[in-house]
């Protein structure tokens, strides 16, 4: 395997890890505040559809991005309503949101575009193109470092850089701001936060909405940057892989980056090599597909360090009278 | 003091939730430029207007009976089994192995063995998540979701590889032998002088499903194990204090739940396709969640909810055939049912409770 092949696999790792990373950080905000969210998949799917649909109609990818975020935010609002205001079961609400998005996107796509549940293919104005970073062309010929800079670091869409910038940003918000401290506290011990005179409800809604924002960007990335348009069920389980990565990362931002890069790498390998020949036996592509889930179960089982979720996760908060 | 009479809890709340889901579905149909009344008419006519329609309705209902019971049993122990889909896939594998690799003189024996095989494989797929929840505290919802994906990858591999007959094109097993063909409702009812559509896939598994409902009812409310399951679901510390082992209850409940989900395969794999195909479950495992919520985890409620969803599925297929409304409308309805009967339960419940309290105060 030469350098170029390695770089191409790594390049596609970055592309495939981006939606996982955004969704994983989205889940991180929500779950750190004590709201379990298995509806990441649905929110991404809704955002993917609305961003592609609006970008196709208006011809502007930025308006599309806005529409995708708005769609994801409204599903977040629904999740908040069910799990914060009406103190319902957060898991069931997440399941419902996933189905709602899976059904509605196809229904609306069929009604708007009559193309069998997909949006028209997006032209260049309706997509996020690659950005060539300064100096990439000039440095291209420099041995080793040149190709790495040109192939791997430069040439991605703006959303990829946004996603990677979100990692230190999330870390800073969670661990260096007052809001972050309160957010983490409300996921561990909401009574204490309430006693301090801070609204548990408002904090949790804020977390859920940040989750919606990030899922919205993730979905828009799928439909307007990674691919050119929406097709039915295009998230293809990425929301669940993100959830797996979140557990893998034990609900921490930097580890979320590493976990999603690992899972993105697995996807990139599965995409490039259908059946991986390891010399002594051939690893079927399905084993690659299943690997993120198997790894997550192993982590959950606590064989490689225990993954302990936020203590108040999944529990609706009932204010004492 | 009960805040409201029992009938309101059991009948009124599901009905209001269903009504809300129906109204919003109607609005969705309006929004995409179709006529909801006409749509409802078409659905009723397509699903219930002929024995052909009924045959499909009952066929789908049989799938949902098993997966609904699976989720319901787990709910009694306050376990949320999202893994019905994967367990049903593995159940299909169990059925296929029994039907393909063992010689059967008569379908009745084959059905017994296939039911056993399906339950065994389904239960086995629920075992790891169960033991991990009981022993290591790994959240069962997450592990069962992961196991759905692992099951899908595993079956995918089996069906394009080891189980595919040589030279075949589609990813599926060979056709099951003629001897394991299950009698359809047409074949059962014909000797009684009742004519039933020949083409519809409803078969004897529907009766097995009804039997499963009765057995689950007896298990939950008439046996010691059922009592322990319910006690554990109501309060784990109390159950522990009463000498009930949480590990034992978690594992046994999940085995029963996984077994029931797996048993769905006698209907879709053995009764309809007569071979194991890719994605044979078609999401029925997830519909079990809606069915169990709607049916309030009671076998009779599950039965009614399964028929309702069978109607929605067949009706939805007819809609897709005659109008511009795609089949995905059913997924929206399913989502709304889960949302209102599950997650937004309190939204319906709180005002009703207030209403009943006010009524009681006036009477007093």
Mapping DSSP onto H, E and C, the string for chain A reads: CCHHHHHHHHHHHHHHHHHHHHHHHHHHHHHHCCCCCCCHHHHHHHHHHHHHHHHHHHCCHHHHHHHHHHHHHHHHHHHHHHHHHCCCCHHHHHHHHHHHHHHHHHHHHHHHHCCCCCCCCCCHHHCCCECCCCCHHHHCCCCCHHHHHHHHHCCCEHHHHHHHHHHHHHHHHHHHCHHHHHHHHHHHCHHHHHHCCCCHHHHHHHHHHHHHHHHHHHHHHHHHHHCCCCCCCCCCCHHHHHHHHHHHCCCCHHHHHHHHHHHHHHHHHHHHCCCEECCCCEECHHHHHHHHHHHHHHHHCCCCCCCCCCCCCCCCCCCCC
- Minimal CA–CA distance to B324: which of A49, A114, A102? A114
CB contact under 8 A, A290 and B347: no
Mean pLDDT, chain B, rounded, equals 91
pLDDT of A1 higher than 70: no
B114 touches chain A (CB under 8 A): no
Residues of A in contact with B147 (CB under 8 A): 293, 297
Give dist(CA B40, CA B318) in Å, integer. Answer: 11
Own/partner pairs, A146-155, CB within 8 angstroms, 24+ separation? A147/A3, A147/A4, A147/A7, A148/A7, A151/A4, A151/A7, A151/A8, A151/A11, A152/A7, A152/A10, A152/A11, A152/A14, A155/A11, A155/A130, A155/A131
- pLDDT of amino acid A306: 66
Length of chain B: 364
Residue B33 CA to chain centroid, in angstroms? Answer: 32
Mutation site, B135, B146, B284, interface A, largest A CB count within 10 A: B146
- pLDDT of amino acid A46: 96
Q: What share of chain A has pLDDT > 90, as a percent?
A: 53
Residues of B in contact with A289 (CB under 8 A): 149, 153, 156
A244 touches chain B (CB under 8 A): yes
Residues 178-237, chain B, touching A (beta carbon < 8 A): none
- pLDDT of amino acid A142: 78
Domain assignment present for A233: yes
pLDDT of B97 higher than 80: yes
Nearest CA distance, A319 vs chain B (angstrom): 16
Supply φ then ψ for residue A130, to 5 degrees: -75, 150
What pTM value is reported for the model?
Answer: 0.90
CB-CB contact of A61 with A128 (8 Å): yes
pLDDT of A304 higher than 70: no
Backbone torsion region of residue B152, taken as left when φ is above 0, otherwise alpha when ψ lies between -120 and 50, otherwise beta? alpha
Residues 282-321, chain B, touching A (beta carbon < 8 A): 286, 289, 293
- pLDDT of amino acid A284: 82
pLDDT of B277 higher than 60: yes
Mean pLDDT, chain A, rounded, equals 88
Lowest mean pLDDT among A79-88, B156-165, B214-223: B156-165
How is chain B split into domains, by residue range? Answer: 67-309
Tens of pLDDT, residues A265-296? 988 888 887 766 776 777 788 888 888 888 88
Three-state DSSP class for B172? strand
Query: What Rg value do the Cα atoms of chain B yield, rounded?
Result: 21
Q: In this structure, what CATH number is given to the domain that contains residue A41?
A: 1.10.3470
Domain assignment present for A311: no
Q: Which residue has the higher pLDDT, B171 or A134?
A: B171
Tens of pLDDT, residues A25-50? 999 999 999 999 999 999 999 999 99
B30 touches chain A (CB under 8 A): no
Which candidate from B150, B153, B331 shows the least CB-CB separation from A103? B331
pLDDT of B241 higher than 90: yes
Lowest mean pLDDT among A232-236, A282-286, B176-180, B191-195: A282-286
- pLDDT of amino acid A302: 75
- pLDDT of amino acid B12: 87
Q: Which domain holds residue A190?
A: 3-300
Residues of B in contact with A108 (CB under 8 A): 32
| Distant-in-sequence, close-in-space partners of A287: CB < 8 Å, separation ≥ 6 | B153, B157
- Say how many C-beta atoms besides its own lie within 10 A of residue B32's C-beta: 16
Which candidate from B132, B146, B334 shows the least CB-CB separation from A99? B334
| Distant-in-sequence, close-in-space partners of A17: CB < 8 Å, separation ≥ 6 | A260, A261, A263, A264, A265
Tens of pLDDT, residues A145-161? 777 777 778 888 899 99
CB-CB contact of A156 with A130 (8 Å): yes
A81 touches chain B (CB under 8 A): yes
Q: What share of chain B has pLDDT > 70, as a percent?
A: 99
Domain assignment present for A315: no
Q: What is the mean pLDDT of residues B51-62?
A: 94
Q: What is the mean pLDDT of residues A163-180?
A: 96
- pLDDT of amino acid A305: 63
- pLDDT of amino acid A321: 59
Tens of pLDDT, residues B202-213? 999 999 999 999
Lowest mean pLDDT among A86-90, A103-107, B137-141, B229-233: B137-141
Which candidate from A93, A247, A293 shows the least CB-CB separation from B339? A93
Pairing of strands A276-277, A282-283: antiparallel
CB contact under 8 A, A92 and B330: no
Q: Which residue has the higher pLDDT, B89 or A128?
A: B89
Give dist(CA A137, CA A110) in Å, integer. Answer: 43
Residues of B in contact with A117 (CB under 8 A): 326, 328
In the structure, what pLDDT confidence band is assigned to residue B161 with cuts at 50, 70 and 90?
A: confident
Nearest CA distance, A47 vs chain B (angstrom): 17
Q: What share of chain A has pLDDT > 70, as a percent?
A: 96
Instruction: Provide the number of structural domains found in chain A.
Output: 1
Residues 249-268, chain A, touching B (beta carbon < 8 A): none
Q: What is the mean pLDDT of residues A98-112?
A: 92
Domain assignment present for A287: yes
The one-character DSSP state at B298 is -
Which candidate from A93, A99, A106 shows the least CB-CB separation from B326? A106
Own/partner pairs, A139-147, CB within 8 angstroms, 24+ separation? A144/A3, A147/A3, A147/A4, A147/A7
In the structure, what pLDDT confidence band is assigned to residue B2 with cuts at 50, 70 and 90?
A: low
The one-character DSSP state at B340 is I
- pLDDT of amino acid B100: 92
pLDDT of B136 higher than 90: no
Domain assignment present for A36: yes
In the structure, what pLDDT confidence band is assigned to residue A222 with cuts at 50, 70 and 90?
A: very high
Mutation site, A37, A75, A86, A92, interface B, largest B CB count within 10 A: A92
Domain assignment present for A216: yes
CB contact under 8 A, A294 and B146: yes
Own/partner pairs, A172-181, CB within 8 angstroms, 24+ separation? A174/A32, A174/A253, A179/A206
- The predicted complex's ipTM stands at 0.89
B339 touches chain A (CB under 8 A): yes
Q: What is the mean pLDDT of residues B325-333?
A: 89
């Amino acid at each position: 395997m030469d350098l170029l092949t390695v770089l191409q696999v790594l390049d596609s790792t970055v592309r495939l890890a981006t939606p996982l990373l955004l969704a994983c950080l989205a889940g991180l905000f929500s779950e750190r505040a004590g709201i379990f969210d298995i509806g990441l998949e649905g929110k991404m799917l809704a955002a993917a559809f609305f961003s592609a649909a609006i970008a196709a109609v208006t011809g502007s990818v930025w308006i599309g991005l806005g529409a995708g975020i708005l769609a994801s935010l409204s599903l977040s609002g629904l999740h908040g309503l069910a799990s914060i205001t009406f103190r319902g079961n957060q898991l069931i609400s997440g399941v419902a949101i996933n189905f709602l998005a899976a059904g509605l996107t196809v229904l609306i796509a069929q009604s708007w575009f009559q193309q069998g549940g997909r949006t028209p293919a997006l032209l260049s104005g309706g997509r996020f193109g690659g950005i060539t970073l300064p100096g990439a062309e000039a440095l291209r010929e420099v041995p080793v470092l040149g190709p790495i800079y040109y192939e791997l670091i430069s040439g991605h869409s703006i959303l990829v850089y946004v996603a990677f910038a979100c990692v230190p940003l999330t870390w800073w918000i969670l661990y260096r701001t007052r809001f972050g401290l309160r957010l983490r506290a409300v996921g561990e011990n909401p009574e204490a936060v309430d006693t301090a005179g801070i609204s548990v409800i408002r904090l949790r809604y804020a977390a859920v909405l940040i989750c919606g924002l990030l899922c919205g960007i993730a979905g828009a990335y799928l439909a307007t940057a990674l691919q050119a348009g929406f097709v039915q069920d295009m998230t293809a389980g990425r929301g669940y892989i993100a959830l797996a990565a979140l557990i893998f990362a034990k609900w921490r931002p930097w580890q979320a980056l590493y976990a999603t890069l690992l899972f993105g790498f697995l996807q990139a390998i599965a995409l490039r090599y259908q059946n991986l020949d390891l010399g002594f036996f051939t690893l079927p592509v399905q084993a690659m597909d299943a690997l993120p889930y198997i790894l997550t179960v192993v982590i959950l089982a606590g064989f490689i360090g225990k993954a302990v979720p936020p203590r108040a996760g999944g529990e609706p908060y009932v204010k004492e009278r | 003091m009960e805040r409201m009479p029992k009938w309101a809890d059991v009948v009124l709340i599901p009905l209001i939730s269903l009504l809300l889901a129906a109204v919003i579905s109607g609005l969705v149909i309006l929004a995409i430029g179709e006529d909801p009344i006409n749509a409802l008419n078409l659905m009723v006519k397509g699903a219930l207007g002929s024995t052909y329609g009924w045959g499909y309705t009952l066929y789908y209902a049989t799938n949902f009976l098993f997966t609904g019971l699976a989720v319901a049993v787990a709910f009694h122990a306050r376990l949320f089994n999202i893994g019905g889909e994967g367990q049903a896939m593995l159940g299909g594998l169990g059925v296929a192995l029994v039907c393909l690799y063992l010689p059967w003189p008569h379908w009745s024996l084959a059905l017994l063995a296939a039911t056993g095989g399906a339950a065994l494989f389904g239960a086995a797929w629920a075992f790891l998540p169960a033991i991990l929840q009981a022993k290591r505290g790994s959240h069962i919802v997450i592990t069962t979701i992961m196991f759905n994906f692992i099951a899908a990858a595993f079956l995918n591999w089996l069906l394009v590889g080891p189980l595919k007959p040589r030279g075949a094109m589609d990813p599926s097993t060979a056709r099951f032998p003629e001897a394991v063909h299950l009698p359809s409702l047409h074949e059962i009812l014909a000797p009684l002088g009742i004519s039933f559509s020949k083409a519809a896939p409803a078969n004897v598994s529907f009766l097995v499903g009804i039997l499963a409902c009765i057995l689950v009812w007896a298990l939950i409310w008439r046996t010691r194990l059922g009592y322990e399951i319910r006690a554990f679901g109501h309060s784990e510390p109390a159950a522990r204090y009463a000498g009930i082992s949480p590990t034992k209850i978690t594992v046994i409940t999940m085995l029963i739940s996984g077994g029931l989900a797996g048993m769905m395969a006698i209907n879709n794999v053995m009764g309809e396709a007569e071979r194991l195909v890719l994605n044979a479950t078609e999401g029925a495992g997830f519909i079990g969640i809606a069915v169990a919520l709607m049916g309030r985890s009671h076998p009779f409620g599950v039965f009614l909810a399964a028929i309702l969803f069978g109607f929605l599925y067949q009706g939805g297929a007819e809609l897709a055939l005659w109008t511009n409304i795609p089949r995905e409308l059913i997924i929206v309805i399913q989502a709304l049912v889960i949302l209102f009967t599950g997650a937004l339960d309190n939204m319906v419940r709180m005002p009703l409770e207030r209403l009943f309290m006010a009524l009681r105060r006036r009477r007093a």
